[in-house]
Amino acid sequence: MPHVVLVLVESVNDYLHMLENQGYELILAPTPASRAEAIARHGARIDAVLTRGPLGLQADEMAALPLLRIICVIGAGFEQVDLQAASNQGITVTFGAGANASSVADHAMALLLSVVRGIPQADASIRRNEWVKVRQPSLSGKRMGIIGLGAIGAAIAKRAAHGFDMSIRYHSRQPHPDSPYTYCASVLELAAAVDFLMIATPGGSATHHLVNARVLDALGSEGYLINIARGSVVDTQALISALTAGKIAGAGLDVFEDEPRVPDPLKTLGNVVMTPHVAGQSPDAVEATVQLVVDNLRAFFAGKPVLTPVPLPHPA
In the set 42, 277, 298, 314, the catalytic residue is 277
Q: Does 208 qualify as catalytic in the annotation? A: no
The pLDDT value given to residue 203: 87
**CATH value at residue 30:** 3.40.50.720
Same domain, 60 and 164: no
For 65-99, write each residue's pLDDT tens digit: 999 999 999 988 898 999 999 999 999 999 998 89
Q: Is residue 311 part of a domain?
A: no
Same domain, 46 and 113: no
Which amino acid belongs to residue 197? L
Q: Does 277 qualify as catalytic in the annotation? A: yes
Q: Does 259 qualify as catalytic in the annotation? A: yes
The number of beta carbons lying within 10 Å of the beta carbon of residue 148 is: 23
Among the listed residues 41, 50, 44, the one whose alpha carbon sits nearest the alpha carbon of residue 6:
50
How many domains does the chain contain in total? 2
Which amino acid belongs to residue 261? R
Same domain, 263 and 289: no
Asked if the model's pLDDT at residue 1 lies above 80, the reply is no
Same domain, 14 and 119: no
In the set 17, 37, 259, 298, the catalytic residue is 259
In the set 3, 107, 159, 230, the catalytic residue is 230
Q: What is the mean pLDDT of the chain?
A: 96
Asked if the model's pLDDT at residue 275 lies above 90, the reply is yes
Q: Domain span at residue 77?
A: 4-99+283-301
